Structure 1
Amino acid sequence: MTAQQNWAISILEDGFGRVRDSVEHVVFGLSPARLVEQPSPETNSVGWILWHLTRITDDHFAALAHVLGGGEPPAGRGHPMPPGQIWNEWRARFGTPYPEQSTGYGHSPEDVAAFPRIEPQILGDYQDAVHERAVEILRGISEEDLGTVVDRRWNPPVTAAVRLVSILNDATQHVGQAAYVKGLLDSR
């Protein structure tokens, strides 16, 4: 890998590290009750938002690693859960009522309200585990990998480089939303 590619991976690593640190900051001091509190029935709770951002990161990095390891990129809706997610090791700790492959995408307000009351540290620990796996995958990406098509469901098809930036963008937006909801609840 060239120095420029190392630099790019280092920037992504730093970005995902900032997300991890921000998740830790948001969960600090929260109670299980506050974690699932919704500012209104139509809004997301801090716990659901942080779970969702971590599930998406877990799912998308697993899919990326699967394709870069020789698997076929998804080409249509209804593709199976990508192998390599660590969610299977964490699902029982959360006790979510959602299907195994659920990442929160498309959840209704009722689905959000069904997010279980858990210890906030579980979210932080899951984020740490996902972050470790993401960094491991990042460090294994070659220069050629960045241009590899990893998702054919979009036009143009999504490359590894675009997917990495997309995951980071999504995670930073969601951790900001969680911090905002926490602040909103704290101001009441």
Structure 2
Amino acid sequence: MSAKDLLVDAAQRPAQVAGDVLEGISGDTLHCMPGDTQNSIAWLIWHSARQQDAQIANLSQKQQVWAAQGWDEKFDLDRGPDDFGFGDGPEDVARVRVTDPDLLRDYLNAVTSATVDYLGTLRDSDLDQVIDDSWDPPVTRGVRIVSTIDDAAQHLGQAAYVRGLVQDSWRGKY
């Protein structure tokens, strides 16, 4: 298995977890913020998709799926095109509200598809290319891709935890 094949597999896993977390979820559970200050499931899934979308678009030098496919209008969150929730406080988290959880699932799936498409354009040697030398050690394309996938996976794990915390009867696959 090539490094690229591993990245494709890893990139698809957060969307699989999101599907499980969102299955049969109520609006109250989706938007509940534990302690009224922690991230809601809606925000966690939205942010997971947004950060990956922004970073993969930057790497691929393409427009973000968010704007290119009209997700910004579908979500209607009154956020700038480059806003993906980094540094959001409780009030910002509370404003990420959707009436249909499928919107979150579908956007994350669209971002995952764009990520997999981008990975398909790369050679293994492309993963070694330094793309940010402001870090020590400098960041390669492969390391940046892994960090976007890791960020999404961590936030989806948090979403699963929040669902179990908020809805006692819920038992996910993971």
Q: Normalising to structure 1: TM-score of the pair?
A: 0.83
Distance 1:20 1:169 in 2: 12
Q: Report the equivalent of 1:84.
A: 63
Distance 1:32 1:125 in 2: 17
Equivalent residue runs for 1:24-43 within 5 Å: 24-43=19-38
Moved over 4 A (4+): none
Distance 1:37 1:11 in 2: 34
Q: Report the equivalent of 2:143.
A: 162
Q: Report the equivalent of 1:23.
A: 18
Equivalenced residues, count:
167
In structure 2, stretches of 5+ residues that fail to align are 170-174
Distance 2:134 2:111 in 1: 24
Q: Normalising to structure 2: TM-score of the pair?
A: 0.90
Q: 1:63 aligns with which of 52, 58, 62?
A: 58
Distance 1:133 1:35 in 2: 25
* C-alpha contact 2:46 2:104 (8 A) present in aligned 1: yes
In structure 1, stretches of 5+ residues that fail to align are 1-5, 67-82
Distance 2:157 2:53 in 1: 19
* C-alpha contact 1:97 1:114 (8 A) present in aligned 2: no
Q: Post-superposition shift, 1:18?
A: 1.4
How big is the alpha-carbon RMSD for the aligned residues of Structure 1 and Structure 2? Answer: 1.5
Q: Report the equivalent of 1:70.
A: none
Equivalent AA in structure 2 for residue 64 of structure 1: L
* C-alpha contact 2:29 2:167 (8 A) present in aligned 1: no
Identity of aligned residues (%): 37
